[in-house]
Amino acid sequence: MSRRHVDVIIIGGGAAGFFAAINIAELHPHLSVAILEKTSHLLKKVKISGGGRCNVTHACFEPKELSNYYPRGGKELLGAFYQFQPLNTIEWFASKNIELTIESDGRMFPVSNTSETIVNCFLHLAKKHKIAIITETKVEKILPLTDGFELTTNNGEFTAEKTVVTAGGFNKAEQYQFLTDLGHTIQPPIPSLFTFNLPQHPICELQGISANHVAIKIKESNYKEEGPLLITHWGMSGPAVLKLSAWAARFLQEKNYNFTYFVNWLPNLSAEQITAQLTGFKTTVATKKVSNAFPFDFPKKLTLYFLQKATIDEHLNWGDVSKKQLQLLTNILAADEYFSEGKTTFKQEFVTCGGIKLNEVNFKTMESKLHPNLFFSGEVLDIDALTGGFNFQAAWTTAWITAQHINS
């Protein structure tokens, strides 16, 4: 087996790996840099993110506000964002002749509207700066030496003065073995940003229907979230559910994904206000059928679902609805109870959380507190974010900081 020496080795050929490699090469042109990627695919998540458009970052330019989008890592990233935040990301890509555009929800994409723009930019810059890209090379062991590291791979041995680990997002703790062997602690990988399973629940028959604004609260916890909700053929999804799953990720894992939650379909109204509106409506439209008139704006099928759940026959006139039925309907609209059972398989998760324990990393430099000249960026860290370009921003920020300090 061959043995190669490189000044800086980057483990992982994804977003953080390439961003770190390119910035290191530009800041320290005298250093030789190599990227080791265990698969044959480079920049895979960059290619597929945002439906193939690449959601590069988010138009949120205040570090304190930005850090609130990270269920894990927000506190640590706050200082890091004062070094490199979305404004810097925009400027960086602009310096490479790539303009980003802001969509109405704050997400930012290349003007070209294709992830190929970002992928081609990274590949071009890697070639320009003579960064070695070595694929199908899995790092099995990192051995600290007096003047750097020896890396054992399935493709021979490498030595380097500095090593940057970016590979992560693994779904099994064992895949981090090469880091635990160094004494680092791994927070177990678990899903974040997942949907709530409701097997065989009648509401699943309404798949594709959404509600614009609901509040969801997990029973026996302080976890709650507001936003749009989407009904799917297996349960509930949409921004409110995904955000809640991210913040409550570890809590729900401890529950083995079996938990009760409440949906408030009218979060801007109290239960008393809902009752008052229903009572007033009943009087005003007493001769109208309940299925033809409803005081709140929901899709027709969802309205019929509420009525059925409240044991109100859809052919009944409003004047004939009993006080007990109105109270039941109020309870459903204000605190509709569901029991989520299990979860979808790992492959279907949007994001995982887990990785290197954050208190073992110096976030001013991204250097390991245990081993000098060992750096961490991107998915290998126990950082995860809500959807909208925030995970990529964490990758750019941590990789950029690494590049600034790798030669200090």
Model confidence over 12-31: pLDDT tens digits?
Answer: 999 999 999 999 999 999 99
* H or E segment and range at residue 250: helix 249-254
Q: Per residue in 314-331, pLDDT tens?
A: 999 999 999 999 999 999
Is 173 in a helix, a strand, or coil?
helix
Q: What is the mean pLDDT of each run of 10 residues along the chain (408 residues)?
A: 89 98 97 97 93 96 98 97 98 98 97 98 98 97 97 97 92 91 95 90 97 97 97 93 94 96 98 97 96 96 97 96 97 98 62 92 98 97 94 98 91
pLDDT of residue 346: 44
* H or E segment and range at residue 367: strand 367-368
Who's near 1: CB < 8 A, 6+ residues apart?
155, 156, 157
How far is CA 18 from each of CA 110, 120, 287, rounded to the nearest angstrom?
18, 11, 68
* H or E segment and range at residue 32: none
Q: Are 243 and 227 in contact (CB under 8 A)?
A: yes
- Closest by alpha carbon to 15, among 43, 39, 36, 40? 43
| Sequence spans of domains, the chain | 3-191+352-405, 194-348
How far is CA 10 from each of CA 36, 37, 47, rounded to the nearest angstrom?
6, 9, 20
Alpha carbon distance 138, 234 (integer Å) = 37
Strand ranges (E), 180-314 = 186-192, 196-197, 210-218, 224-231, 235-237, 259-264
Which CATH architecture best describes the domain 3-191+352-405? Answer: 3-Layer(bba) Sandwich (3.50)
Q: Are 37 and 134 in contact (CB under 8 A)?
A: yes
Alpha carbon distance 358, 75 (integer Å) = 10
pLDDT of residue 2: 65
pLDDT of residue 407: 82
Whole-model pTM: value is 0.88
pLDDT of residue 342: 83
Alpha carbon distance 363, 369 (integer Å) = 10
Who's near 345: CB < 8 A, 6+ residues apart?
none
pLDDT of residue 50: 87
